[in-house]
């Protein structure tokens, strides 16, 4: 996977507009909408610097194998090992690269990690030349995912976007809470905020409002 980093007005870093040479669009989108918030690797790196990591150097293997991101997202794709690199230049986040491989292939070797680090440095230098002040929303050339477009239209936060996606998939409040590793009361707070921003009072009205937006955006 390769994505771009956007620094929002509140200085949080969002990784978006991803592409992949092997994953389907739905599989790729599901990571950013559902599993990015549960990714055990995201706390381990500094997005403002070029760094590389191997997934299983960061977490106990047995515990990793029980996580939703492994059981529901990685394993169905037939992958077991992962590694990644952050892309940045002069303290400005620019993106990330993530690689996966099947269990039979073994984990990424130290030599391969050093190669990835060099690749990340070259990519960072190139992106830094293209976007010397960082990547602003209006500079991104990759098509915006529909759910992201809907969230942006209604002014939803990243977490509210994730909750909305799960709601539209028919997930119950309890199921949303389980998937996002939060309490059900927290989910209800997000839902109430979504209702307020969209201007509706029920799931049925919410689905209708989103459907109308999809039609008007075509």
More confident residue, 106 or 181: 106
CATH class in words for 2-139: alpha beta
Query: How many residues appear in the chain?
Result: 218
Q: C-alpha 195: how far from its chain's center?
A: 23
Q: HSE-up of 69 (CA within 13 Å, CB side)? A: 20
Give the C-alpha separation, 4 to 19, whole Å.
10
pLDDT tens for 161-185 read 888 888 888 889 998 887 776 789 9
More confident residue, 164 or 145: 164
pLDDT at 74 over 50: yes
Among 11, 12, 29, 9, smallest CA distance to 20 is for 29
Start-end of CATH 3.30.450 domains in the chain? 2-139
**Overall average pLDDT of the 115-138 stretch:** 86
Fold held by 146-217: Arc Repressor Mutant, subunit A (1.10.10)
Give the C-alpha separation, 76 to 24, whole Å.
12
First-to-final CA distance of the chain? 28
Name 171's Cβ contacts closer than 8 Å, sequence gap at least 6: 179
**Overall average pLDDT of the 75-83 stretch:** 96
pTM: 0.63
Name 107's Cβ contacts closer than 8 Å, sequence gap at least 6: 54, 56, 81
Confidence (pLDDT) at 140: 39
pLDDT tens for 18-60 read 899 899 888 998 898 888 888 888 778 889 999 999 999 998 9
Name 161's Cβ contacts closer than 8 Å, sequence gap at least 6: 33, 147, 148, 150, 151
Start-end of CATH 1.10.10.10 domains in the chain? 146-217
């Amino acid at each position: 996977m390769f994505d771009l980093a956007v620094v929002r007005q509140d200085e949080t870093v969002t990784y978006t507009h991803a592409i992949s040479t092997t994953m389907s669009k739905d599989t790729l989108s599901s990571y950013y909408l559902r599993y990015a918030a549960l990714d055990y690797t995201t706390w381990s790196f500094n997005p403002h610097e070029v760094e590389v990591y191997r997934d299983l150097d960061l977490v106990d293997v047995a515990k990793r194998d029980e996580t939703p991101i492994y059981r529901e997202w990685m394993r169905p794709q037939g992958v077991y090992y992962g590694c990644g690199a952050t892309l940045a230049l002069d303290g400005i986040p620019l993106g990330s690269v993530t690689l996966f491989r099947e269990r039979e292939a073994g984990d990424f070797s130290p030599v391969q990690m050093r190669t990835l680090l060099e690749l990340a440095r070259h990519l960072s230098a190139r992106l830094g030349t293209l976007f010397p002040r960082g990547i602003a929303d209006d500079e991104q050339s990759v098509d915006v995912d529909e759910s992201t477009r809907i969230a942006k239209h209604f002014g939803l936060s990243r977490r509210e976007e994730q909750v909305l996606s799960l709601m539209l998939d028919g997930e119950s409040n309890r199921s949303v809470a389980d998937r996002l590793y939060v309490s059900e009361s927290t989910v209800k707070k997000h839902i109430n905020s979504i209702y307020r921003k969209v201007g509706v009072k029920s799931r049925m009205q919410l689905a209708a409002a989103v459907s109308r937006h999809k039609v008007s955006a075509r």
